Chain A
Amino acid sequence: MNSADLLDAGQRAAVLATDGPIIVAAGPGTGKTRVFAHRVAHLIREMGAHPGEILAVTFTRSAAAEIRERIKTLLPDTALGALWVETCHAAALRILREEAYPFAETSILSEEERSAVLEGVVPRAQAAALLEEVRAAKQRLEWPQSAAARLYQERLQSRRRLDFDDLFLYALRLFEERPEALQRWRGRFRHVLMDEFQDTSLAQYRFVDRLASRDFCVIGDPDQSIYGFAGVPFDPFAQFAQDHPGCRVLPLTENYRSQAVILDAAKQVIARNSPRLQRELRARLARGLPIEISGHQSDRQEAEMTVRRIEGLLGGASRFTVDSGWATQTDEGKRTYSLGDFVVLYRLNAQARLFEIALERAGLPYVTYGKKTKKDGREVTEAEDLEDIRDHEAAAPSALRPRGESVTLMTAHRAKGLEFAVVFLTGCEDGVLPYRRDGEAPCSEEERRLFYVAMTRAKDRLFLSYARKRFLFGKTLALQPSPFVADIEMELRRIQQDEAPVRKRAKGQQPELF
C-alpha cells in the first residue's frame, strides 16, 4: 500500500510536495503528526531516499519518540538506524559532538553545575534575571554583553560546558569556521522537516535553515504559537517566506479531533487575532454536547466541582457515587470515560494544588506535570512558575501510562500537541488567563492563542470554569471571568450556576450570566 493512502486531499498534498520549500499550515487536530510521519515514509519508500538523508526535527523528545514509532509502523521492514528524528537541541548537540566542537567532548551544563557557575556572579536573587538576559541574547544569536553575563560565559567555557542556548550559537559558529563541515552536513541531509514551527526561535531556525537544502518542509500553526515570550518576538513563518521566496503554503484544514461545538467555539475565540497565515478549519466530527461554563465562589470550590464532574463522567468511581445517584445525575448519554481521558488545564503550576487536594479526597489517581515546589520543598515563585513552561523536555503523559491510568494535571502550555477526551480548562479569569503580572499589560494575542490551544486539546467535552476569588502567590484576588469566555457565542455553551449554596448577594447585584 502506498503510504499516501488513507490521507485526505490536503494531507496527501503535504506529503507529496517534495520539490521545494513548503510551509504546511496545520490547524489543531488536522493530522500534522500523521503528515510528518507519512512524509518521511514517502521519501524513503517512494522517492528512494536513504533514511540517513533525512533530518526530522520535533519540538520535544516525546514527540520524537512518537514520530519514530509511527514511521516504524509505516516502514516495518526498513532499517531506520541512520534516520535522524531529533529535537532541535539534540540535533545540534549530535553535530557538535561528531565534530568535536567547540570542545573535544561537548556536554551540557547540569542544573547543579549551573548553581556553581552562578555562585558569586550575581546575588542569588538576581540569578533568574541574569539567565533570562543570557537566554534572550542567545536566542537572538548574540553573545550576551553585560559584565555579569560575560563572567557567566567565561565560567562555562573554563568548565568546557554549554548551556542549552549555546548549542545553536556554537553550531552556527562551527558552520562558519568550517565550511567543509557545513557542506558535508548539508550534503547529507537532503530532506529536512521541522515540526511545531510556530514555536521555533530565531537561533533554532537559523541552525536548521543552514542544514536544509531544496526539500525543506516546516509544519506548524501560527495560531498555536505560545512560547513567544520565552525568547524574542520572532515570526518564523515570515522569516521562512522571506528566506525562501516562492515557497508554497499547503494548508491542512480538516479537524478530526474535536466535536464541532468545541472547534466552533475555539474558532470564535481565535478569530479576534488577525490571521498570519490562511486560517481555515473545518470540523469533521459531529456537533457534540455544548461547552459547559461554570462560575464558582472560590478557587477551592472550582476544584471540588471539577473533581465531582470527573466522578460523574467516570460513571461513578465507587458504588457510593453510583447508588447515591450522584454519578448519573450529571452524566448525559451514558457515555463514560476512564481516568486517562481527563485533563485539568490551568495557566500556572500554582493552581494545581487545589485540584490535587480534591482528587486526593475523592481517591482518584492523578499525575501532575510541572513544578510546584523546588527541590528544597519551597513553593515556586511567580517568576519560576512562568519559567517552568519552557521545560519542553518534560515527560509527556504517554511516558507514564504503562504504570496505570490517571487524571492528568498540567499547564495549558504543556498540553500543546496533546489531546484528551475531556478537557477542563480552569481559572478562566481576567488576569489569570490572560495572565497579567502586576501592573503589566497582558500579552493578550499570545494569551488568546494559549486559550485556543487549550480548548482544541478536547475531543469530546470541554468545560470552562472560573472563580471569583483566588489565592495566588500569597495574595487573595477578586476576579472577573476571562474576556475570552465572552467570545464564545451563547448557542455553543451551557451555563452552570454556582453549584454550592450561594451566599446572599448584595442588594441590586445581578447574578452574572456567564
Chain B
Amino acid sequence: MPFIADLHIHSKYSRACSKSLEPETLYRWCQLKGITVLATGDFTHPGWFAELQDKLIPAEAGLFQLKPELARRQDQDVPQSCRAPVRFLLESEISCIYKKDGKVRKVHHLVFAPSFEAAARIQTRLGEIGNIRSDGRPILGLDSRDLLALVREASDEAYLIPAHAWTPHFAVFGSESGFDSLEECFGDLTAEIFALETGLSSDPPMNWRLSALDRIALISNSDAHSPEKLGREANLFDCELSYAGLFAAIRGRDPKRFLKTLEFFPEEGKYHADGHRKCQAPLQPEETIRRQGLCPECGKPVTVGVLHRVEKLADRKTGKRPAGAPDFESLIPLKEVLGQVLRVGPSSVKVNALYHRLLARFGSEFRILRELPAAELEKEGLPLAALALGRMRKGEVGLQPGFDGEYGVISLLTKKDFSAQDQLALL
C-alpha cells in the first residue's frame, strides 16, 4: 500500500525550533497529517539521540516506532479517522561552512543512518571535528566531500543527500555560497550522490531543466521547525516498508516504487523569485538581469532566488521528465486553504477549529488534500472549500512568488467567488 515519508525535520534541540518537537508530538502529528515514515532529525545531537534511544524501539529493519506505552497516551488525542502506524528513520542535517576554491561555501546536507550504531559512529566522528552539542543542526567547518566520505565510511547504508538544493544561502546550488555543479562540490565522490532535496522553492520540472540531474532522484521534505509543518512537502512510496526498501526505491528511481513527490507550488517558497525583503521589492529573474542584479529601491545587490539560479545553471529551455523520474503533485497546506476560505489567518482559532473538525470527519490532512471528493465538503456545508480544493488539484491558482526569505502567496479564491457566496447568503 502506498505510504508517505517526510525525510527531513528538526527536533527541539535545533536553533529556532519549536520546543514541542518531541517523539510523542511527532507521532501524533504524523497521524493527523497522514505520514507513515518520518525522519527523526538531529541524530547528531547527544540529547536528542539519547531521547530517541529511550523512547523508540526497533520496528521494520532500519525503522523505529514509539514505545507502545507512550503511543497509547497519544492515541487519545488522535481522532479515530486518522489513526495509523508511524515509523521513524534516523536522519540529521549538517551545516558545512568552509572555503573552497577561494570562495566561502555554506552547504546543508541530510545524513541518514540505518541504525543507532551507525548513527553513533557518525556522531562520534563529527564530535571530534566540531561542536555537535549546542545545535541539533551542527555547524562544521568540514568540506562537503569530506563529510560525504565520513558518512560512507560509517556504514554501507549511511547516505548523504544535499538539502534544499537551491536555496540561496545554505545549499549546494545556492546563489550566495553554493556551487555550479555537484562535481565542484563533491569531487571524486560525486558518484555517491544519488538524490537531491529540491526544497520548497523549486519543483521537479525546474530541476529537470538540468541534464546533469537526470541521473539524480529528486526528493521533497518538510524541513519542519514545528510539528504543524510536518509533511508540507513529502514523498509517496509504494515499496517495502524498511530503511533499505525506501532507499532502494529512491536510488533505483523506479516510478512503480517511488510514486511521486508532494510539493509546494514553488512560488510559495520563500526564495523562489529574486528581490529585497527589506525594500519589499520582488523581482523576476529577467528583471534582475536587466537591473544588473541591483535592487530598484536601495541599489544594493538583491538576493538571487531559486528560479533565477535554475535559469542560470540549466541547459534546457523547459523541464522534460527524465525516464524513471517520479510524478509530482502541488499542494497547499490545509490550514492555508481554510484560511483563504474563512478569510482569516491560517493560524487563527477559527481555522484551527475547522481543521480539526475536518480531520475528525474525513481523516488525515493528506487524505483531505489529495483524495477527498470535493463533493464531500459541499455536503459538509463548505462549498468554497470544495471550490478551493478543486482548483488546487487542477493547479488553477493565483501566484505571488516568495523572495528573499518571504513566503509567496498562492490564492485559490477571488473576490468574485466570495460575492457569489455572499449573494447566496442573502437569499
Contact = CB atoms under 8 A, between A and B. Distances in A.
Given A403-B129, A405-B99, A318 B139 contact: yes
A364 B170 contact: no
Contacts of B278: 325
B198 to A, nearest CB: 17
B138 A336 contact: no
Given A322-B169, A363-B134, A404-B146, A336 B129 contact: no
Interface in B171-218: 176-177
B386 interface: no
B141 A315 contact: no
A405 B131 contact: no
Contacts of B141: 338-340, 365, 404-406
A87 B137 CA distance: 43
Given A319-B16, A338-B99, 15 more contacts: A316-B169, A319-B170, A323-B405, A340-B99, A360-B134, A363-B131, A363-B139, A365-B130, A365-B131, A366-B131, A404-B129, A404-B130, A404-B141, A405-B142, A406-B130
A405 B98 contact: yes
Contacts of A334: 300-301
Interface string A360-396: 1111111000000000000000000000000000000
B332 interface: no
20 contacts: A317-B106, A318-B170, A319-B170, A334-B301, A338-B105, A338-B141, A340-B98, A340-B99, A359-B131, A363-B131, A363-B138, A363-B139, A365-B140, A403-B128, A403-B129, A404-B129, A404-B130, A404-B146, A405-B142, A406-B141
Nearest to B134: A363
B46 to A, nearest CB: 13
Contacts of B405: 322-323
A337 B106 CA distance: 10
A364 B15 CA distance: 12
B308 to A, nearest CB: 17
Contact of B104 (A318, A322, A338, A360): A338
Contacts of A340: 98-99, 141
Interface of B: 15-16, 95, 97-99, 104-106, 128-131, 133-135, 137-143, 146, 169-170, 176-177, 278, 300-301, 405
A336 B177 contact: yes
A314 interface: yes
Nearest to A365: B130
Contacts of B135: 318, 363
Nearest to B100: A338
A442 to B, nearest CB: 36
A404 B140 CA distance: 7
Nearest to A318: B15
A229 interface: no
Nearest to A356: B131
Contacts of A359: 131
B187 to A, nearest CB: 15
A318 B104 CA distance: 14
A318 B169 CA distance: 9
B191 to A, nearest CB: 23
Contact of A315 (B129, B130, B139, B176): B176
A340 B141 CA distance: 8
Given A325-B278, A340-B141, A404-B140, A362 B129 contact: no
A336 B16 CA distance: 23
B139 A365 contact: yes
A408 to B, nearest CB: 11
B143 A404 contact: yes
A340 B138 CA distance: 16
A239 B150 CA distance: 54
Interface residues of A, number: 29
Nearest to A364: B139
A3 to B, nearest CB: 25
Contacts of A314: 97, 104, 106
Nearest to B16: A320
A340 B170 CA distance: 18
Given A325-B278, A334-B301, A339 B15 contact: no
A338 B106 CA distance: 8
Contacts of A405: 97-99, 141-142
Contacts of B129: 365, 403-404
A214 B301 CA distance: 60
Nearest to B135: A363
Contacts of B134: 360-363
B104 A315 contact: yes
Nearest to A362: B134
Contacts of B104: 314-315, 336-338
Contacts of B99: 338, 340-341, 405
B98 A320 contact: no
A315 B301 contact: no
B98 A339 contact: yes
A339 B143 CA distance: 12
Nearest to A319: B170
B317 to A, nearest CB: 31
Given A320-B16, A364-B139, A365-B129, A339 B169 contact: no
A340 B129 CA distance: 13
Q: Closest 6 A-B residue pairs measured CB to CB? A: A405-B141, A363-B135, A365-B130, A320-B16, A404-B142, A404-B141
B106 A315 contact: yes
Task: Identify the interface centre among A315, A316, A325, A338: most chain B CB within 10 Å of its CB.
Answer: A338
A403 B300 CA distance: 37
Contacts of A319: 16, 169-170
Given A336-B177, A403-B129, A317 B143 contact: no
Interface string A304-339: 000000000011111110110100000000101111
B139 A338 contact: no
A505 to B, nearest CB: 33
B168 to A, nearest CB: 9
B137 A318 contact: yes
Interface centre among B16, B134, B139, B170 (most CB of A within 10 A): B139
A17 B275 CA distance: 59
A364 B131 contact: yes
A65 B97 CA distance: 27
Contacts of A364: 131, 139
Nearest to A324: B16
Contacts of A403: 128-129, 142
B190 to A, nearest CB: 20
A315 B177 CA distance: 10
A334 B276 CA distance: 14
Nearest to A405: B141
A129 B142 CA distance: 44
A334 B302 CA distance: 11
Interface string A272-316: 000000000000000000000000000000000000000000111
A360 B133 contact: yes
A338 B134 CA distance: 19
B29 to A, nearest CB: 22
A316 B140 CA distance: 14
A360 B132 CA distance: 9
Nearest to B300: A334
Contacts of B98: 338-340, 404-405
Contacts of A322: 169, 405
Nearest to A316: B169
Nearest to A337: B104
A360 B134 CA distance: 6
B15 A363 contact: yes
Contacts of A336: 104, 176-177
Contacts of B139: 317-318, 339, 363-365
Nearest to A401: B141
A460 to B, nearest CB: 13
A334 B168 CA distance: 14
Contacts of B176: 315, 336
Nearest to A407: B141
Contacts of A315: 104, 106, 169, 176-177
A364 B96 CA distance: 11
